Amino acid sequence: MSRQASTLITGASGEMGHGLIERLIARSDRPVITIDLNPLAPALARMVRKEFTGSVLDSQLLDRINAEYEVDQVFHLAALLSTRSEFSPALAHKVNVEGTLNMLEFAQKEGESHGRPVVFFYPSSIAAYGLPDLAAKAAAGKVAEDVFTRPTTMYGANKLYCEHLGRYYDRHFKQLAADSRSGKVDFRCIRFPGLISAVTVPSGGTSDYAPEMIHAAAQGKPYACFVRPDTRIPFMAMPDAIDAILRLVDAPKPKLTRTEYNIGAFSPTTAEVEKVARAAFPGASITTAVDAKRQAIVDSWPADVDDGAARRDWGHAPKYGFDTAFGEYLIPTIRARY
């Protein structure tokens, strides 16, 4: 039990949780509590105050954390990603939407019990967009937050809706209720591009082709890429994604002009990623075997995003562009790993 102001991370054993736990522990001694269906890697488990193996759908677990801890910061990372969600849309809706609603209610209760808003970080995605066709995608250029928001996937629809849900809890919670309780959730959200980590490999996403390709090449394993070489979507190196999360949660609230922000870094075609993989790992065996459904998903995502609001409001400034992400972070770290 801890009445010390604490941080709660859901979906903590996923790719983003991995990087986030390390950075949070390195920068302060505030306790970190985690929830995930899967256990944390032992090195991470040693860093956190308390690891709960369980689900964001388990309201008894959330009530227990509510009673035992003073949580004033939530990073709600638990989700089923885009490809996985297309195979189990009802389950995806349950985890991605009901799970988020549970966590917003949890944060609201925490905020009420200790009398100040709980900062709630929510990772949305470029999947919240739905470009109608390739001509529109080519013409759209850098897409801003409020256009083309007609997602074609269950995951994208879940993400977009949860952005709205978060804004509701932040700004409009129970406006008409007799008890006129004010919102106690300080909701902050980033729409992430595809992420590439040198230390973990994603699973269940559709942007996974880039990290899968580079990790397979490094291990000398053949890789059949499931999208066309000319496919272009935005990507970012994982350390920059973690930096962006921390910058956003640290930003003074009055500086934030919106609740959901695009962030970008570089936007390569698949052919450009393949070229870098082949140059770094000359024996790489990379072929193309297009999966029409996964191709249609990435074709509906923007080729690039306008992240001007994030740059202006809270100083989004990715350290890595395409060349440096691969040349200075991904390839050297991956080489050392395998």
Q: List contacts with ligand AKB (CB under 6 A).
A: 81-82, 125-127, 155, 192, 194, 205-207
Cβ–Cβ < 8 Å for 48, 26:
no
Nearest to ligand AKB of 170, 212 (CB atom)? 212
> Cβ 155 to ligand AKB, closest distance in Å?
6
> Cβ 74 to ligand AKB, closest distance in Å?
19
> Cβ 78 to ligand AKB, closest distance in Å?
13
CA distances from 109 to 47, 71, 95, 118 (A): 27, 10, 20, 9
Residues 6+ away with beta carbon under 8 Å from 320: 236, 237, 239, 240, 265, 266, 328, 329
DSSP 81: -
Cβ–Cβ < 8 Å for 72, 116:
yes
Distance (Å, whole) CA 130 – CA 143: 11
Reported in sequence order, the residue ranges of 210-322 that DSSP labels E, i.e. its strands, are 223-225, 235-237, 260-262, 286-288, 304-305
> Cβ 113 to ligand AKB, closest distance in Å?
33
Enclosing H/E stretch for 8: strand 2-10
Nearest to ligand AKB of 44, 154 (CB atom)? 154
Neighbours of 23 (CB within 10 A): 14
Nearest to ligand AKB of 19, 183 (CB atom)? 19
| Nearest alpha-carbon partner for 281 in 337, 320, 200, 229 | 337
> Cβ 271 to ligand AKB, closest distance in Å?
19
Q: How many residues does the chain have?
A: 338
Nearest to ligand AKB of 19, 194 (CB atom)? 194
> Cβ 17 to ligand AKB, closest distance in Å?
14
Nearest to ligand AKB of 82, 259 (CB atom)? 82
Nearest to ligand AKB of 118, 143 (CB atom)? 143
Which amino acid would we find at residue 324? Answer: T
Distance (Å, whole) CA 130 – CA 226: 20
Q: What is the number of helices (H) and of strands (E) in the chain?
A: 15, 13
Distance (Å, whole) CA 308 – CA 71: 32
Tokens of 338: 């395998």
Cβ–Cβ < 8 Å for 224, 289:
yes
> Cβ 140 to ligand AKB, closest distance in Å?
17
> Cβ 192 to ligand AKB, closest distance in Å?
6
Nearest to ligand AKB of 65, 297 (CB atom)? 297
Nearest to ligand AKB of 166, 183 (CB atom)? 166
